C-alpha cells in the first residue's frame, strides 16, 4: 500500500459557533479558535476540521451557504482566516474546511437569480420542475421533514431540496455548476487548505425521473434517501470532482457518506478512491429509527461490538475509514454508547481508548476529550436545531406526549453536541463573556478543561497520553498500519482487539461490564502501555475490573 501523508494523523472537529468566543458576542469565532491552537497541539491534534464558517443565514447552522468565498461575519474576516491558516502552519497543523456542495442557501446569488427569472440559466443550477396537477413532482420527504419540493413563487414550478427549504439542491448534471464548484474548491486549496470534510455528498446524484415511492410515514411521503438509493452513477460525479480538484493538491478528503451500496467501499476509499477516507457511521446507524428518533432501537453492547468489529474487518481490506464517537449531528458518545453505570471518567476513558486505537483515522469532536455529555433539556423551546424541531413534531404526530417527545429529543438531539465547549468553571463555562447563543450544559462545574488540566488522572490528561501513545515513534506504525484482529468475542462484556504489523502485536481490551473478568492471555505480556486504572503489573492472565481498559504490548 502506498503511504499517504494523512494516514498517521489525528483529527479534531471544531464546531466554530460553540468552540470559543473571542469577542464576547456569545458566538464562537476565528479569534477564539486561534487562541486555542496551543491547546489542540498539546492534545496531539494534527488536522483540524472546521464545520462551516462561510457566509450563511444559519438556518441549518452554516450548512446553508450564501457565499462560498466569504467568511461569516459572526466568525470573523478572511484576514483572520488567513491568520488561522498561518498559525496552524507554524504548529505543523493542517486546517480542513467543510465542503457543502449538495446544496447551497436560498440566499445564494445563484438561487436568487433563479427565483427572479426561472427562465434564466440559473434555474438550471437547481432542480426546477413542473408539478403534477398543482401537486409536487414527487412524494419525497426531506431529511428535515415535509416535502422536498417547494413552490417557485408566481410559477407552476417547484424547486428541489433534500434538507430545509432554505437549502436548494444544486444541479450536478449541469457542467457549469460543477465548474463553478471546482473553481471555488481550488481557490481554497490554493490558499493552503489541507483538504475538506465533504457534506452529504452521496445525495448529489439524483434520479432525474424523480419517481414516487411507497409512502413510509403518517405524512403520506417517502424518505428522499430512497431515491438516492435507487440511482447509480454517483461515482462518475465523484471522480470528476476529485480529478479536477483534490487530486491535484494531494488534499485530504473525508466524505460524509451514508447509503453506500454493497461492495462500493473500494471505489470510495480504495487506493484510487473518490476520497481519502469516509466516516464509519456503522455504530451510529444502529440507532436509526424506522420512522425517526422516537422509534430508535435501544443500543446493546454485543450488537455494538459486533458492528464495530465487522466494520473494521471489512474496511481493512481496502483502505482507511475515519473513526468517531460523536460529531455535531449526534448526541454525545458517552451518553449514547455507555450504560448509565459507565458514564463516568473511567468509562469515558475506556470508550475513547477503543475509538482512538481502532484502525483508521481518529476524529475527536470538541469536548469529547474532557468527556462532555448530553445536556438536560427542560422544554422544546430550549433547542435551536432544525432537525430536533422536526423530530419533536414527528414524535408528537406519532402519538407521543409532549413529555415523551421531549425525552426523545433530549436523548437524540444534535444540540447535545452543540452546547458551548466547557473551558472552565467560570461563568458560561469560560466560553464567552457575553450570553451564549445556546445554553451551556449545567454540568460545566464538574466537567471542564481548566480543572482537568490540573488533575493528572483527568479524562483530558488521559486523552493526551492516549494520543501520544498512538503517535509515539515506537507504536505509530502498529497503530496506523497494523491489522485489526478481534479477541474475546465470546465474552459478554469485553471489547478487545489486537493491532499487529508483523513486528509488534498490541492488545487493546476493555471491560464494559459491572463485574471484573479474568481471561486467558494467548500471548505473554511484554509491556503495559496504557491503563485507565493505573495498572502497572499483569500476571499470566488478563484481569480487568469493571470499566477497565488496558493497552498491552505482547511478546
Ligand atoms: O448531514 C447530513 C445528514 O444526512 C445527517 O446530518 C442527518 O440528516 C441529520 O443529522 C438528521 O438529524 C450533513 C451535516 O453534517 C448536517 O449538519 C447538515 O444539517 C446536513 O448535512 C445538511 O447540510
Ligand atoms: Ca464571537
pLDDT bucket at 91, cuts 50 / 70 / 90: very high
**Quick one: average pLDDT of 448-468?**
98
pLDDT, tens digit, 9 for 90 and up, residues 404-419? 999 999 999 999 999 9
The overall average pLDDT reported for the chain is: 98
Ligand 1 centroid to residue 423 C-alpha, Å: 27
Give the strands of the sheet with 549-554, arranged side by side. 483-487, 494-500, 505-511, 549-554, 525-531
Say if CB 115 and CB 105 are below 8 A apart. no
Whose atoms come closest to the Cα of 105: which ligand? 1
Q: Is the dihedral of CA 281, 309, 302, 458 positive or negative?
A: negative
Q: 340: CA distance to ligand 2 center in Å?
A: 35
Taking the C-alpha atoms of residue 190 and residue 519, their distance in angstroms, rounded to an integer, is 54
Query: If you average pLDDT over residues 100-107, what whole number do you get?
Result: 98
Indicate the top mutation candidate among 63, 142, 223, 385 to test ligand 1's pocket, ranked by most ligand atoms within 8 A of CB.
63
Pairing of strands 525-531, 505-511: unpaired
- Ligand 1 pocket: which of 163, 196, 260, 287 to mutate (most atoms <8 Å of CB)? 163
pLDDT at 292: 96
| For ligand 1, atom 18: residue with the closest CA | 63
Report d(CA 525, CA 538) in Å as an integer.
7
Q: What pLDDT does 235 receive? A: 97
What is the reported pLDDT for 448? 99
Q: What angle do CA 392, 396, 398 make, to 5 degrees?
A: 120
Longest pairwise C-alpha distance within the chain: 78
Q: In angstroms, what is the span from residue 334 Cα to ligand 2's centroid?
A: 28
In 53-202, where does DSSP find H-type helix? 78-90, 109-116, 175-191
Task: Name the packing angle between helices 386-397 and 402-412 (round to 10°).
Answer: 140
Say if ligand 1 is within 6 A of residue 143 CB: yes
468, pLDDT greater than 90: yes
* Residue 259 pLDDT > 90: no
To test the pocket of ligand 1, the residue of 18, 57, 143 to mutate (highest count of ligand atoms within 8 Å of its CB) is: 143
Is a pLDDT exceeding 90 seen at residue 103?
yes
User: CB count, 10 Å around CB of 367?
Assistant: 26
Q: Which residues are part of the catalytic machinery?
A: 199, 256
Average pLDDT over residues 198-208: 98
The pLDDT value given to residue 261? 85
Q: Is the CB of 18 under 6 A from ligand 1?
A: no
Q: 19: CA distance to ligand 2 center in Å?
A: 10
- pLDDT at position 542: 97
15 lines ligand 1 (CB under 6 A): no
Q: What percent of the chain has pLDDT over 90?
A: 98
Task: Tell me what pLDDT residue 362 has.
Answer: 98
How many angstroms is it from 270 CA to the middle of ligand 2? 41
> Which is nearest to 308 in space by CA: 512, 44, 47?
512
63 ligand 1 Cβ < 6 A: yes
Instruction: Name residues whose C-beta falls within 8 Å of residue 307's C-beta, 6 or more positions apart in sequence.
Output: 282, 283, 286
Cα distances (angstroms) measured from residue 105 to each of 62, 64, 98, 430, 484: 9, 4, 15, 32, 42
Strands 494-500 and 11-14: unpaired
Give the closest residue (by CA) to ligand 1 atom 2: 200
User: What is the rounded CA–CA span in Å between residue 52 and residue 45?
Assistant: 19
Atom of ligand 1 nearest to the CA of 63: 23
Burial (CB count <10 Å: 0-12, 13-18, 19+), residue 43: middle
Q: Which residue, judged by its Cα, is nearest atom 1 of ligand 1? A: 200
- Euclidean distance between CA atoms 202 and 166, whole angstroms: 20
Beta bridge partners of 364: 12
* Grid cell in block for residue 389: 424541531
Q: Is the pLDDT of residue 1 over 90?
A: no
Res 351: pLDDT: 98
Residue 399 confidence (pLDDT) above 90: yes
pLDDT value of residue 539:
85
pLDDT digits (tens, 9 = 90+) for 469-500: 999 999 999 999 999 999 999 999 999 999 99
Ligand 2 centre from 539 Cα, in Å?
54
Question: For 515-540, what is the mean pLDDT?
Answer: 95
CA of 354 to the centre of ligand 2 (A): 35
The pLDDT of residue 425 is above 90: yes
Question: From CA 299, how far away is CA 98, in angstroms rounded?
Answer: 30
Nearest CA to ligand 1 atom 11: 387
Q: Whose CA is nearest to atom 12 of ligand 1?
A: 387
| Contact in structure between 142 and 127 (CB atoms under 8 Å) | no
Asked if residue 162 has its Cβ within 6 Å of ligand 1, the reply is no
Query: Cα separation of 484 and 305, whole Å?
Result: 13
| Structure confidence at residue 61 as a pLDDT band (50, 70, 90) | very high
The pLDDT, as a whole number, for residue 203 is 98
Q: What does the alpha-carbon distance between residue 298 and residue 289 come to, in Å, rounded to a whole number?
A: 10
Atom of ligand 1 nearest to the CA of 330: 10
The mean pLDDT value for 174-178 works out to 98
Residue 387, ligand 1, Cβ within 6 A? yes
All three cell numbers of 284, joined, read: 451510529
Binding site membership of 383 for ligand 1 (Cβ less than 6 Å): no
Sequence-separated (6 or more) residues with CB below 8 Å from residue 353: 466, 508, 510, 530, 532, 549, 551
- pLDDT of 278 strictly over 90: yes
The answer, yes or no, to whether any atom of ligand 1 lies below 6 A from the CB of 163, is: yes
Q: What single DSSP character describes residue 523? A: S
Phi/psi at 10 (5° precision): -115, 130
- Distance separating alpha carbons of residues 262 and 513, to the nearest angstrom: 34
Handedness of CA 143, 145, 148, 150 (dihedral sign): negative
Global confidence as pTM? 0.98
**Percent of all residues in the chain with a pLDDT value above 70, rounded to a whole number:** 100
* DSSP H helical ranges for 447-508: 449-454, 459-471, 476-481
Mean pLDDT check: name the lowest of 196-205, 256-265, 357-366: 256-265
- Name the helix (H) or strand (E) containing 362: strand 361-365
C-alpha cell at 438: 445556546
**With 90 as the cut, is the pLDDT of residue 213 above it?**
yes
What are the pLDDT digits (tens) for 227-257? 999 999 999 999 999 999 999 999 999 999 9
For ligand 1, atom 3, which residue shows the shortest CA distance? 200
Distances (CA, A) of 388 to 284, 330, 384, 391, 406: 17, 11, 8, 5, 10
137-167 pLDDT, tens digit each? 999 999 999 999 999 999 999 999 999 999 9
| Cα–ligand 1 centroid distance for 200 (angstroms) | 7
Q: What is the pLDDT of residue 397?
A: 95
pLDDT tens for each residue of 326-345: 999 999 999 999 999 999 99
For the Cβ of 296 lying below 6 angstroms from any atom of ligand 1, the answer is no
Q: Is the pLDDT of residue 22 over 90?
A: yes
Separation between Cα atoms, residue 545 and residue 147, nearest integer Å: 51
Amino acid at each position: 500500500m502506498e503511504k499517504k501523508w494523512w494516514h498517521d494523523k489525528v483529527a479534531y472537529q471544531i464546531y466554530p459557533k460553540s468552540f470559543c468566543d473571542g469577542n464576547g458576542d456569545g458566538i464562537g469565532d476565528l479569534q477564539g479558535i486561534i487562541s486555542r491552537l496551543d491547546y489542540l497541539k498539546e492534545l496531539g491534534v494534527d488536522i483540524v476540521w472546521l464545520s462551516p464558517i462561510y457566509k450563511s443565514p444559519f438556518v441549518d447552522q452554516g450548512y446553508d451557504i450564501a457565499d462560498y468565498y466569504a467568511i461569516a461575519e459572526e466568525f470573523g474576516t478572511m484576514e483572520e482566516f488567513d491568520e488561522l491558516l498561518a498559525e496552524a502552519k507554524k504548529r505543523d497543523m493542517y486546517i480542513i474546511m467543510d465542503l457543502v456542495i449538495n446544496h447551497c442557501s436560498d440566499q445564494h446569488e445563484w438561487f436568487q437569480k433563479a427565483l427572479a427569472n426561472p427562465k434564466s440559466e440559473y434555474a438550471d443550477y437547481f432542480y426546477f420542475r413542473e408539478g403534477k396537477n398543482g401537486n409536487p413532482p414527487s412524494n419525497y420527504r426531506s431529511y428535515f421533514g415535509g416535502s422536498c419540493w417547494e413552490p417557485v413563487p408566481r410559477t407552476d414550478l417547484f424547486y428541489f431540496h433534500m434538507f430545509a427549504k432554505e437549502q436548494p439542491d444544486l444541479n450536478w448534471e449541469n457542467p457549469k455548476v460543477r465548474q463553478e464548484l471546482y473553481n471555488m474548491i481550488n481557490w481554497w486549496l490554493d490558499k493552503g487548505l489541507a483538504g475538506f470534510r465533504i457534506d452529504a455528498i452521496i445525495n448529489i446524484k439524483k434520479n432525474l425521473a424523480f419517481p414516487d415511492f411507497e409512502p413510509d410515514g403518517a405524512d403520506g411521503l417517502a424518505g428522499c434517501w430512497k431515491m438516492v438509493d435507487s440511482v447509480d452513477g454517483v461515482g462518475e460525479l465523484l471522480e470528476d470532482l476529485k480529478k479536477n480538484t483534490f487530486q491535484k493538491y494531494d488534499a485530504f478528503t473525508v466524505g460524509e457518506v451514508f447509503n453506500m451500496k454493497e461492495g462500493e467501499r473500494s471505489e470510495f476509499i480504495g487506493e484510487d478512491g473518490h476520497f481519502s477516507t469516509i466516516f464509519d457511521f456503522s455504530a451510529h446507524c444502529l440507532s436509526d429509527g424506522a420512522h425517526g428518533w422516537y422509534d430508535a432501537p435501544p443500543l446493546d453492547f454485543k450488537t455494538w461490538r459486533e458492528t464495530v468489529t465487522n466494520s473494521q474487518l471489512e474496511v481493512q481490506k481496502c483502505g482507511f475509514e475515519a473513526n468517531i464517537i460523536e460529531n455535531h449531528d449526534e448526541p454525545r458518545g458517552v451518553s449514547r454508547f455507555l450504560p448509565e453505570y459507565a458514564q463516568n471518567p473511567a468509562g469515558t476513558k475506556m470508550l475513547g481508548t477503543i475509538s482512538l486505537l481502532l484502525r483508521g483515522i481518529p476524529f475527536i469532536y470538541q469536548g469529547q476529550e474532557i468527556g462532555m455529555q448530553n445536556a438536560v433539556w427542560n422544554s422544546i423551546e430550549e433547542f435551536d436545531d432544525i432537525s430536533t424541531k422536526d423530530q419533536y413534531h414527528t414524535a408528537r404526530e406519532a402519538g407521543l406526549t409532549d413529555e415523551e417527545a421531549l425525552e426523545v429529543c433530549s436523548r437524540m438531539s444534535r444540540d447535545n453536541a452543540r452546547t458551548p465547549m466547557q473551558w472552565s468553571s467560570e461563568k458560561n463555562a469560560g466560553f464567552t463573556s457575553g450570553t451564549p447563543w445556546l445554553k451551556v450544559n449545567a454540568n460545566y462545574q464538574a466537567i471542564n478543561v481548566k480543572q482537568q488540566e490540573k488533575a493528572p488522572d483527568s479524562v483530558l490528561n488521559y486523552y493526551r497520553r492516549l494520543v501520544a501513545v498512538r503517535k509515539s515513534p515506537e507504536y505509530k506504525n502498529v497503530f496506523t498500519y497494523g491489522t485489526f484482529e478481534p479477541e474475546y468475542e465470546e465474552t459478554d462484556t469485553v471489547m478487545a482487539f489486537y493491532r499487529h504489523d508483523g513486528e509488534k502485536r498490541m492488545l487493546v481490551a476493555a471491560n464494559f461490564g459491572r463485574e471484573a473478568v479474568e481471561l486467558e492471555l494467548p500471548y505473554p505480556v511484554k509491556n503495559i502501555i496504557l491503563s485507565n486504572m493505573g495498572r502497572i503489573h499483569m500476571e499470566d492472565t488478563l484481569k480487568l475490573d469493571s470499566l477497565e481498559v488496558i493497552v498491552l504490548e505482547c511478546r
